[in-house]
Amino acid sequence: MNSMLAVGRVAAVCLALCEAQAFAQFPSNAQPLPAAQANTTMSSGQSSSGSQQGASNPYQGSIVRDKATSGELSLSLQDAIERGLKYNLGYVLQNEAQLGANGQRLQALQTLLPTLQGGARVQVAQTDLAAEGLRITGFPQVIGPYGSVDFRASLVMSLFNLPALENYLAARHNFQAAKLSAEDARDMVVLSVGNAYLLVIADQSRVTNAEAQVKSTKSSLDQAVANHTAGTSPLLDELRARVDYQTQEQTLIQAQNQLQKDKIALARAIGLPLEQEFLLSDAVPFTPLESMTPDQAAQIALAHRKDLAAARQQAAQGGSTAQAAHEERLPAVGFTGDYGATGINLADLKGTGEAIGQANVPLFEEAKIRGDERIADAQKRQQQAQLSNLQAQVVADVRDSLLDIEAAAKSVEVARSNVDLATEALSEAQQRFAAGVSDNLSVVQAQASVAQANDQYVSSLYQHNVAKLSLARAMGVAQQDYSHYLGGK
């Protein structure tokens, strides 16, 4: 039980770190919703604060659009991931932020495009000349009403504006980074949903093992009661067996409770109504991963990680923003013109127009321009530093995952052997107790060893599968190849 909790917490920390990297690479001016990734409900025994964690970690939440159906839904791993890619809150928010970044790009583009507007105006006025300070003898004090009609189209366009061009390029890089971040979010969904699915599978195995232990301890209890009744064993053996049986019942209750809580967490991640009953249709057995060197995996990761590609776009964005700041001293040349028809009524319209060319040169804005340059240069250096750090982190993620896979594979083999040995030792202890050669203390100890060995086997198998899924995410291929890395049915 403790080992299961420890493994779950390790997996949760890995997931949180990956998510933090994904959100850290999202363009700051795209204004995604803030996310704190310190907590996660993906670890066994950590679901009690799921409401708070789901609010802070969008990859554990979802939007629910379906209605619960009658009966039990069969849910495969592929079905769960496909639902997550539609309804998971983390992906939905990243996708909406991508649309916002596209809007910012279009806004920046408009400063380089001509702006054409048209309008019509009908005016009727009456003027009090005395109120205006005009008092002319023999001339009316109030003139009017009089009116005019004007139909006009105006054109404003930029002819030469390098800062505006660089700002548009920065907005375009920002949009590309947002698109890449949305693609990276799909890998994060696969990791999050896959981890939740694997955790439920592990919980089911723990429940099955706990049920087997309850049956085993019940048999030992019945044997102890029979021996005590027959006078061949003391009351202590019966009491010891009863305590062992009730302890295993408590373990079963806790395992069943944790299974239901983790099923709720899975439903929350994929947008299933919480009242929908479902059953996992896939099992993920132990499947060794084909050999891969760290250098090979790192090369794949550097080429496929979308968050790394997004960071490169952000670095390019910082370069364009800095260039725009340095070009603020240059003149901006533009054109403004209008043409229309004006008259006192519709029957007396005459064509009128105006064309203006203008050049604006900043003469005394040195403090502002220097401030803009320093801010932009600092942001550029920060983004370049983050890119360099992320490149190293990608390689570290790959190497960590490969080490985890290797260690977990060895742990699976050892745990499997421990299960066989503990089961054999329990059989020997039961036979000795039944024959009256020894008391049932050795039986109780052997049953505890079997329970611990089974729990360690389930934990190591879960850890191995999560490590393989984490490697797929670390390499940037989780969405396409998760089934290849997990393997089995």
**Same domain? 440 vs 375:** yes
CATH number of the domain where residue 147 is located: 2.20.200.10
Q: Is 118 left (phi over 0), alpha (psi -120 to 50) or beta?
A: beta
pLDDT, position 53 = 52
CATH number of the domain where residue 427 is located: 1.20.1600.10
**Same domain? 295 vs 437:** yes
CA distances, 385 to each of 181, 200, 378, 391, 392 (Å): 18, 40, 11, 10, 11
- 3-state helix, strand, coil split of the chain in percent (to 5) is 65, 15, 20
Residue 262: which pLDDT band, with cuts at 50, 70 and 90?
Answer: very high
Higher pLDDT pick, 228 / 177: 177
**Same domain? 90 vs 29:** yes
- Residue 349 domain boundaries: 114-160+330-364
- Please say which residue of 339, 364, 389 terminates a domain: 364
For 298-315, what is each residue's pLDDT tens digit? 999 999 999 999 999 999
pTM here is: 0.80
For 71-109, what is each residue's pLDDT tens digit? 899 999 999 999 999 999 999 999 999 999 999 999 999
Q: Is the pLDDT of residue 264 over 50?
A: yes
Across 27-41, 177-191, 309-323, 354-368, least confident range: 27-41
**Same domain? 337 vs 324:** no
Q: What's the mean pLDDT in 277-295?
A: 87
**Same domain? 288 vs 317:** yes
Average pLDDT, the chain: 85
**Same domain? 320 vs 358:** no
- Please say which residue of 364, 387, 421 terminates a domain: 364
**Same domain? 171 vs 280:** yes
Residue 39: which pLDDT band, with cuts at 50, 70 and 90?
Answer: very low
**Same domain? 360 vs 373:** no
Q: What's the mean pLDDT in 125-134?
A: 84
Q: Are 44 and 202 in contact (CB under 8 A)?
A: yes
pLDDT, position 33 = 35
**Same domain? 277 vs 148:** no
Residue 210: which pLDDT band, with cuts at 50, 70 and 90?
Answer: very high
Q: Are 121 and 149 in contact (CB under 8 A)?
A: yes
Quote the distance between the C-alpha of residue 93 and its chain's center.
9
**Same domain? 50 vs 119:** no
Domain count, the chain: 2
For 390-412, what is each residue's pLDDT tens digit? 999 999 999 999 999 999 999 99
Q: Are 62 and 88 in contact (CB under 8 A)?
A: yes
**Same domain? 168 vs 108:** yes
**Same domain? 287 vs 370:** yes
Per cent of the chain over pLDDT 70 is: 88
Higher pLDDT pick, 40 / 302: 302
